[in-house]
Amino acid sequence: MDHTSVASQSQAHIDVQSKTDDFFSRFKIATLMHRCGVRKHHGHNVRSLTKAIFTLPFLGKNFFRGIVLNNELPFGKDAAYDLLKGESYNWRRLLLSLGRRLFGVFNRLTSDERESVLILDDSPYDRSRSKKVELLSRIWDHSTGRFLKGFRMLTICWSDGISCLPMDFALLSSSDAKKRLCDSQKALDKRCCAYQRRKEATEKATTHLETMVKRILSTGVSAKYLLMNSWFTMPATVVTLARHINVIGMVKKSARIHYTFNGQALDVKAIYRRIRKRRGRAKILASANVMLKDAVATKLVFVRDKRKKDWLALLSTDTDLNDEEIVRIYGKRWDIGVFFKMAKQHLKLAKEIQCRDYDALIAHTTIVFMRYMFLAYQCRMETDHRTFGDLFYACCEEVADISFMEALYRILTLAAEQLKQLGTFCEKTATAFFDAIMDTALQCIGLSKNKVEIA
């Protein structure tokens, strides 16, 4: 490796460290960690420990080479493992607190006319090569259509259509004890976070939805809609969540799920057969107003499926929205798919560390989500022109301070430079011409000032 490449890598590492230090300092992550119980009991401070793990993928290292084998660090591997395995550390509260502060920054850059949304989805947390991981279970992977060993990662993100922030998550095992390959062996105090995390992991995903949404909205994070896919858009779930936020979701084509349409309980296929469709090759085929559980009025929008000769159905609890707006807003759900792909392929989710402790999995997942927040913040600061507020006001002040004569002088100077480039420039003639213009301008300004003084 030549000296140039070594120097460039060193400079890149310095740049990463500088941006990371600025991110940790600006959002006071050390203070948030202290409030969430992530505190120093002995040895090295938790800010340095967390920051060392946080920067690993940006430096091209994994946990083993960057922490375990790295002799340049001021702490050992045991300190890092103790940080991740802390039983009283409320990592999910830390994630939500940091997300709330980033929301405050992004919300000021978002127009009031743009709809901010919460996006709910789950994704498999793959640990197929593991055998002794705590609460490891067999879960169904919808994308591959097969069972795998791991966890179900239930996640809620906030998005304004430009930036996406993971706000809360739950790493779920199976509620069926027969599908759990390893049970918890730790003796824990029922009042600590570790016990509550393990209790939540063995409950059904639908029991967490209302609690997670209420927890996010209670912090002051504003969102107009909650977007969900067909796995969560069930009538009972929608009725529960609609008490707190309007819901837009994909509807599953099932004969077991019924909606009240014109006084009759019908499934979505029967409703589609009874309504009138639009003519031609319209993208939106039809819509219908229905009731859920005879309690919540909703609208069904039927959309043409581009992948095959079929249709899809969207449900919205906001019946005042027109059909096109419902389809457009639901399109923002794509942001969470990008987030999952980024977290797994580039931010080393479920790959960077091979801990068997369930608390360590929660801690590492939180740090990975914080990395994505860091990237979202850097991207927004570097691409959104509205973030250059100080520069904008500085330019405005500079323009305001320029007098009429100075502005005229600058224009004439630029005109002279352009004439020189043409090659047919007579310097004496142009100078005399520009001097005459300046003298006339000075005389006009002097006359106007005299008139003002006399008046």
pLDDT digits 0-9 by tens, 191-204 = 999 999 999 999 99
CA distance 228 to 243: 16
The confidence score (pLDDT) of residue 320 equals: 95
Q: Greater confidence, 424 or 298?
A: 298
Does residue 5 carry a pLDDT above 60?
Answer: no
The pair of structure tokens assigned to 214 is 């209420």
The pair of structure tokens assigned to 190 is 């029922």
Query: How much is the average pLDDT of 360-366?
Result: 96
pLDDT, one tens digit per residue, over 112-164 is 778 899 999 999 999 988 989 999 999 988 878 889 999 999 999 999 988 99
pLDDT, one tens digit per residue, over 161-179 is 889 999 999 999 999 999 9
Average pLDDT score over the chain: 86
| Cα distances (angstroms) measured from residue 353 to each of 241, 266, 414 | 35, 49, 61
The pair of structure tokens assigned to 287 is 């819509």
Query: Which range is least confidently modeled, 123-137, 339-353, 386-400, 421-435?
Result: 386-400
Query: How much is the average pLDDT of 430-436?
Result: 69
Percent of the chain having pLDDT more than 90? 61
Q: What share of the chain is helix, strand, coil (3-state, %, to 5)?
A: 50, 20, 35
Q: Greater confidence, 408 or 215?
A: 215
Nearest to 371 by CA among 40, 82, 62, 54: 54
Residue 212: which pLDDT band, with cuts at 50, 70 and 90?
A: very high
pTM of the predicted protein model: 0.82
The confidence score (pLDDT) of residue 388 equals: 52
Nearest to 91 by CA among 184, 191, 193, 188: 193
Residue 257: which pLDDT band, with cuts at 50, 70 and 90?
A: very high
Residue 353: which pLDDT band, with cuts at 50, 70 and 90?
A: confident
Does residue 401 carry a pLDDT above 50?
Answer: no
Q: Residue 166: enclosing H or E segment and its boundaries?
A: strand 164-172
Q: Is residue 332 within 8 Å of residue 353, measured between CB atoms? A: no
Does residue 241 carry a pLDDT above 90?
Answer: yes
Q: Greater confidence, 367 or 64?
A: 367
Query: How much is the average pLDDT of 433-443?
Result: 68
Looking at the domain covering 91-387, what would its CATH class be? alpha beta
The confidence score (pLDDT) of residue 391 equals: 43
The confidence score (pLDDT) of residue 422 equals: 60
Tell me the CB-side half-sphere exposure of residue 68, using CA atoms within 13 A: 9
CA distance 276 to 299: 15
- List the helix and strand counts (H, then E) for the chain: 16, 11
